[in-house]
Structure 1
Amino acid sequence: MKKLSVIIVNYNVCHFLEQALTSLAKAAKHVDVEVFVVDNNSVDGSVEMVNEKFPWVKLIANKHNQGFSKANNQAIRESNAEYILLLNPDTVVEEDTLSKCCQFMDEHPDAGGLGVKMLDGKGKFLPESKRGLPSPWVAFYKIFGFAKLFPKSRKFGRYHLGFLSPDEINPIDVLSGAYMMLRSSVLDKIGLLDEDYFMYGEDIDLSYRILKSGHKNYYYPETRIIHYKGESTKRTSINYVFIFYKAMIIFAQKHFSTKNAGIFAVLINTAIYLRAGMALMTGFVQQTWLFFTDAFVMYAGMYVLVNFWERHIKSDSDFYPPEYLHYIVPVYVLVWGLTVFMYGGYKPLAKFYHILAGIVIGTFVIAAFSNFFDAYRFSKGIIVFGGMLSILALLLVRAVVQFIQHGNVKIGDGRKKRVAIIGSYEESKRIDELLKDTHYKLNVLGYITSNKNDVTQKGYLGYLEELEKLVQLYRLDEIIFCSKDVPAHRIIEWMTRVDNRAVDFKIVPDESNFIIGSNSSNKRGDFYSLNIELNILS
């Protein structure tokens, strides 16, 4: 019998899976372990990658997406180990993670399950590393914001157990499905994952059944993992909101009394529509704020122009009827905005000519259509000068936005990220050369070494132990770790020590041509692909 079976369910996250397996290979040197990958019909080459690079992995390639619970159960039934670890593909484990967790389980026979301290891609603690049972009141406090307002309260902060230190071992209610170590004998007693849950909620259900069996779930922060939240699914999407909260209803109906389940269902359904509404509103604002800002500035410019035209060109302050500013000018603004949109003026990093083309075409459209409506046939001059003024207005808006986002006023040109690579000279140089062949806007300032003898070499900025000072000195935006040279536990250590939210972290897996990272705990991770041109999600 093996000591540990590690099970990873994968769906279209080939690069993240490769990094997870690479870190597992290093951690597995200290434990008698077997690794399963259950692929849910990915189309991104995941199966081929596992077969080629990790032949020691036991691969189960499904022809259809079986969901998280069913896929895990497939591997659990084939496993032959004392402990089972359910692990997400978008994770990186430390070299001692598996051995430490197995040792803790050996020393605590009352432990049915175990979770570890999880950090996001910027090195920040993920509160879902430890959670309480989502009873109706706990759900109420979470849904309506009390948990966020009073995170350390024993009453309001039970969802993420904020009153428990993230650095102390404690029994908890709910383990995270991203890293969930289970005692096989307990699974034999309580059963496998409930396949009524397609995705989300199964970790809560299984954790609760472990507690009901008389065993404990432990939060164990003596080792850490990186979890790039939301790779297989976009956690901020409306679809995620519906799937997650519907899973909560399944849990309530299964484990709570009829009365409590009914209350819980009402709360959850309320949360679904609140969150969905907020997601729609947020998405709408994010997509349209620039359009409406342009419209406001163009209308303000037209308002000034019309008043000037009346007084100084027509010599009649009442030359244009009130309807002109109330109805006709907004139509002009709408036409200009739409034609700018059609010509790419609202794409990321849009150029000057996109705006120019949109306004010029819009001006021709307005002038042409005004000929067909005698009642609305006003001066062509004001239309032409209005178009010119709109060009200036939109350029002003873009210049302000450009300065706020990138520190310059060069429209359509994002500031290059200031990057340092941490690793041996050979590996750092390899990554540097590969980055030069891509379209990403990066300014690699130099390398940082963990070997003091290398500091004098050309291209090195300094020594790893000086990283915090180097970040400030060179105003670094991004740090790239070479995992071939820097162990996972050292990478995680430095991610937590560099307390600067403006700095992003990425990791180059051993002998790979891609770089993985995540700039937000609520967004899917991102990567630079060095052998194929992809849009980076930064």
Structure 2
Amino acid sequence: MDISIILVNYNTREFIKRCLESVFASKTGFTYEVLISDNGSGDGSIQMIKEEFPKANLIENNSNLGFSKANNIAISKASGGLILLLNSDTKVESDAIDKAIGYMNEHPNVGIMGCKILLPDGTPDRAARRKFPNPSNAFLRLFGLKKFSDYNIETPLDQEVEVDSVVGAFLVIRRAVIERIGLLDEEYFMYGEDLDWCWRAKEAGFAVMYYPGATIHHYKYGSAQAIPFRTIRMAHEAMRIFYRKHYAADHSWVFNQFIYLGITIRQYFVLAINLFRAKKTVH
């Protein structure tokens, strides 16, 4: 099996239907399997998948285990030499999977690959290629000074480039890399697990690449739409976990408390903004 395509579903019936239609319509000569790890959906998703996508391997977890754990369950059952984590609220271009596999086969030094991501309005998602968050760029973003932050990479969006991290909406990783660095960290319930995986891959000597030759469409926040406030809390908790794991040991206790306080202030600021916005935002 060339690649195992893994989707986590939690009450995203219409999103995942569109996503699976695009996956099974893909044009590729490579072999693939599709595994869906369902976190106890109650919106008819499970029945729809069974009826309309019988070729998909459905894993019923019966409760919301979070993104990382649900993916890990599917990874443990997958047989592909490559693993693709694909968000249920995406639609892949017909050649995206084929190009992604071809790219990985041609670049054995690459451990993780992400693709070009288009938002619903057709504009490219700049977050598809990122540097790791750190105290300085996080501070600038916190106080509305994003243009001075180096979090997003400024090379042309159609240029292949090595990055610190790609996003979990479409993340291809080699099985050999997982065997080396381990599965997703299940301490991350939602958000942050992709950054953490890329950190560990680079730490182990693998390249993380942004490859715009493959393209998907991302409708964003599929599973998060119904629970925006809880989602905001989980996103900021992911920031705390990432900082604690990868930066806290290099700084004093006092400095770390300022960082955690800043994350908490930002969390409540985003919560306050969402009270007055029709279109919710997580970050």
TM-score range, shorter chain: over 0.9
Name the SS for the 2:75 alignment partner: helix
Q: 1:23 to 1:209 in 2, by over 3 A?
A: same
Larger RCO, structures 1/2 (Cα 8 Å, 6+ apart): 2
Is the CA contact (8 Å cut-off) linking 2:36 and 2:56 kept in structure 1? yes
CA shift for structure 1 position 244? 1.0
Q: 1:257 to 1:173 in 2, by over 3 A?
A: same
Is the CA contact (8 Å cut-off) linking 1:121 and 1:521 kept in structure 2? no
Letter of the structure 1 residue corresponding to residue 129 of structure 2: K
CA shift for structure 1 position 116? 0.6
Partner of 1:75: 74
Partner of 1:212: 203
2:258 to 266, 284, 290: 266
Partner of 1:157: 149
Partner of 2:17: 18
**Cα distance in structure 2, aligned partners of 1:191 and 1:232:** 25
Letter of the structure 2 residue corresponding to residue 256 of structure 1: Y
**Cα distance in structure 2, aligned partners of 1:238 and 1:268:** 19
Which is greater in Rg? Answer: 1
CA shift for structure 1 position 180? 0.6
CA shift for structure 1 position 259? 4.2
Q: 1:9 to 1:261 in 2, by over 3 A?
A: farther
Q: 1:88 to 1:205 in 2, by over 3 A?
A: same
**Cα distance in structure 2, aligned partners of 1:283 and 1:261:** 35
**Cα distance in structure 1, aligned partners of 2:35 and 2:227:** 29
CA shift for structure 1 position 261? 7.8
Q: 1:72 to 1:31 in 2, by over 3 A?
A: same
CA shift for structure 1 position 271? 3.6
Letter of the structure 2 residue corresponding to residue 266 of structure 1: F
Partner of 2:157: 166
Q: Which has the higher helix share?
A: 1
Partner of 1:280: 272
**Counterpart check, 1:41 vs 2:40:** yes
Partner of 2:246: 255
Alignment of 1:24-423 (within 5 A): 24-27=23-26, 29-147=28-146, 150=147, 156-161=148-153, 163-234=154-225, 237-260=228-251, 263=255, 266-280=258-272, 283-284=275-276
CA shift for structure 1 position 30? 3.2
Q: 1:28 to 1:266 in 2, by over 3 A?
A: farther
List per-residue Cα deviations over 1:489-529 (Å, max 9, x = no partner).
xxxxxxxxxxxxxxxxxxxxxxxxxxxxxxx7959xxxxxx
CA shift for structure 1 position 216? 0.6
Q: 1:192 to 1:28 in 2, by over 3 A?
A: farther
CA shift for structure 1 position 252? 1.6
CA shift for structure 1 position 24? 0.1
Q: 1:270 to 1:48 in 2, by over 3 A?
A: same
When normalised by structure 2's length, the TM-score is 0.92
When normalised by structure 1's length, the TM-score is 0.50
Name the SS for the 1:27 alignment partner: coil
Is the CA contact (8 Å cut-off) linking 2:228 and 2:280 kept in structure 1? no
**Cα distance in structure 2, aligned partners of 1:129 and 1:236:** 24
**Cα distance in structure 1, aligned partners of 2:84 and 2:252:** 30
**Cα distance in structure 1, aligned partners of 2:33 and 2:252:** 40
CA shift for structure 1 position 28? 5.6
Letter of the structure 2 residue corresponding to residue 76 of structure 1: I
Q: Percent identity?
A: 36
Alignment of 1:473-512 (within 5 A): none
List per-residue Cα deviations over 1:453-487 (Å, max 9, x = no partner).
xxxxxxxxxxxxxxxxxxxxxxxxxxxxxxxxxxx
**Cα distance in structure 2, aligned partners of 1:185 and 1:281:** 43
**Cα distance in structure 2, aligned partners of 1:109 and 1:133:** 23
**Cα distance in structure 2, aligned partners of 1:236 and 1:42:** 14
Partner of 1:507: none
**Cα distance in structure 1, aligned partners of 2:186 and 2:173:** 17
Letter of the structure 1 residue corresponding to residue 135 of structure 2: P
Q: 1:210 to 1:34 in 2, by over 3 A?
A: same
